[in-house]
Chain A
Amino acid sequence: MKEHLYLKLILIFLLAGCSSVDIGSIGRVAQQTFKAATPLSDEEEYYVGRAVAARILSSYPILENIELTDYVNLVGQTVAIHSDNPITYGGYHFAVLNTKEINAFACPGGIIFITKGMINAVQNEDELAAVLAHEVAHINHRDGVSSIQKARLTEVATLIGTEAAQTYAPAQLSQLVGLFEGSVDDVFKTLVVNGYSKSQEYHADESGLSYLSRAGYNPEALEDFLQRLMNQGQATGGGIMKTHPATAERIEKVEKEMPSAKVDISFVQLRSMRFEKAMK
């Protein structure tokens, strides 16, 4: 009985060797199954993110301040390397938008925008790190691309199917561009118009606290910032503030998830000094 089993196993391998074409197809099926489990590859997510960023930059100009941009990138990169996904296809890049709106946007793949209004609203480097950590968490969680309608992604998978060519014929390209446009619209609406879901915001806060703590920033800075905005009645707007959960509810959850490790306040003050210098 066992010998029959061995024979069957060997026959499977031998048959495989007889037809490389068929086996290639099986390999392709395996790849497609893998792709279905992660609807968009990191590379595809990157291109969606670039297009979302282009749409945002068509509405908001970049702040022309090299020193401040450098500083924001240093804070953001510090947080990002302590996140769960410190390396993305195109890397993390941070830019300041020249608007008084209090806002921040995480484009899929790693481009993060923070408005000048938001930078003015934070009081020190640790609070700035808290805002950026929250946005890095949205990228880690792939919250942007998760808003793309599933039907579009299914259609993309069907369209690219088993074609070997990486360069598309005009008709196929036209269909893909339509699906790409729809996907970018879905993400843009979530980032700029509707906001993420309650659970996505809570989860981003929770992960953000963890990244802050790992980096050595004071995680309480997130709570301080949210509390102050709520007290000032500014807990509305877009991005990090345009959330479905009431800010009081968010603060309550942030308090519950607060890491226990204590931070030396003298270090927070030390960082505040360079924050003030960067603000000038």
Chain B
Amino acid sequence: MRLPFISLFIIIATSVSLHAETVTVITKQSAIRESCRFFSPVKATVHYNDVLEIISKEGEWYKVKFEAVQGCIHKSSIEKKSISLSNLVGSEKQSTSGDEVALAGKGFNPQVEAAYQKENPSLNFRAVDRVESYDTSESKLIQFIQSGKLNLQ
């Protein structure tokens, strides 16, 4: 009598833990790198709200799988979101849950910023866009760090 219940419970508990081993990208975009360090070659670029499967943890980095790509992503690019229970029962869906999607982009978002800009036309958002466009390439940064006898990692 007891055994079937225990087995069923283990199966359900296992499925819960499997679903829990995912993280969500919380940056506009981030790199999945070949090895777990900055400046390692980029294997893929992931975007906000992409869901990655965790393989293992290496210090500040996670080894993850995204579609067919395996590589490393820094912990500050990702977040473990709480599990949507609707995903745990009879669902094959591996991607982000409906609730996660619903909350992503909510609150202070582009629509709110656009309305705020409209109400405050004197604010210099064009200059902010310019500042955000300043891009330091990885190769240039590596050269800068090395020529200044600084630490790459």
Given A34-B82, A87-B76, A180-B116, answer yes or no on A50-B128 (Cβ-Cβ < 8 Å). yes
Known: A10-B9, A27-B84, A31-B103. A73 touches B134 (CB 8 A): yes
CB–CB A177/B38 < 8 A: no
Q: Given A24-B99, A177-B119, A89 and B27 touching (CB < 8 A)?
A: yes
Inter-chain CB contacts under 8 Å: number? 212
Q: Answer whether A93 and B86 are a contact pair too, CB < 8 Å, given A10-B8, A10-B9, A215-B150.
A: no
A93 / chain B contacts, CB cutoff of 8 Å: 131-132, 134
CB-CB under 8 A for A69 and B134, given A7-B5, A41-B107, A47-B113: yes
Q: Is the CB of B9 within 8 A of A86?
A: no
> Does chain B have a CB within 8 A of A44?
yes
- Segment 169-187 of A: residues with Cβ below 8 Å from B: 173-174, 176-177, 180-181, 183-184
Are A217 and B150 closer than 8 Å at their CB atoms?
yes
A163, B148: Cα distance in complex, Å: 52
Q: Give per-residue flags for B88-107: 1 if the beta carbon is below 8 A from chain A beta carbons, else 0.
A: 11100000011110111111
Which residues from B are CB-within-8-Å of A163? 102, 106
Q: Check A270–B148 contact: CB distance below 8 A.
A: yes
Q: Which residues of chain A come closer than 8 Å to B106, judged between CB atoms?
A: 160, 163, 166
Query: Do A51 and B123 touch (CB < 8 A)?
Result: yes
Once A13-B12, A78-B145, A111-B131 are accepted as A-B contacts, the answer to whether A51 and B116 lie under 8 Å apart by CB is yes
The answer to whether A77 has its CB under 8 Å from any CB of chain B is yes
A86 touches B123 (CB 8 A): no
A38's nearest neighbour on chain B, judged by CB, is: B79
Tell me which residues across on chain A come within 8 A of B149, comparing CB atoms.
Answer: 216, 264, 267, 270-271
Q: How far is the CB of B56 from chain A (nearest CB, A)?
A: 20
Q: Among the listed B1, B12, B109, which residue makes an inter-chain contact with A47, where contact means beta carbons less than 8 Å apart? A: B109
A128 to B116, CA, bound (A): 34
Establish whether residues B123 and A54, one from each chain, have CB atoms under 8 Å apart when the complex forms. Answer: yes
The verdict on A101 contacting chain B, using a C-beta distance below 8 Å, is: no
Which residue of chain B has the shortest Cβ distance to A140 in the bound complex?
A: B76
Is A40's CB under 8 angstroms from B107's CB? Answer: yes
**A164 adjacent to B84 (CB under 8 Å):** no
Is there an interface contact between B107 and A86, defined as CB atoms closer than 8 Å? no
Taken together as a complex, chains A and B put the C-alpha atoms of A91 and B31 apart, in Å, by 12
State the Cβ distance, A133 to closest chain B Cβ, in Å.
Answer: 13
Flag if A57 contacts B128 (CB, 8 Å). yes
Which residue among B6, B89, B147 has the maximum number of chain A CB atoms within 10 Å of its CB?
A: B89
Given contacts A73-B136, A78-B144, 18 further A-B contacts (CB under 8 A): A27-B97, A31-B82, A31-B99, A35-B103, A41-B107, A53-B131, A54-B128, A74-B136, A74-B141, A87-B30, A90-B132, A156-B107, A160-B106, A166-B106, A176-B107, A176-B112, A270-B149, A274-B148
A residues contacting B by CB (< 8 A) are 2-3, 6-7, 9-10, 13, 16-17, 20, 23-24, 26-28, 30-31, 33-35, 40-44, 47-48, 50-51, 53-55, 57-58, 62, 69-70, 73-74, 77-78, 81-82, 85-91, 93-95, 111, 125, 156-157, 160, 163-164, 166-168, 173-174, 176-177, 180-181, 183-184, 214-217, 264, 267, 270-271, 274
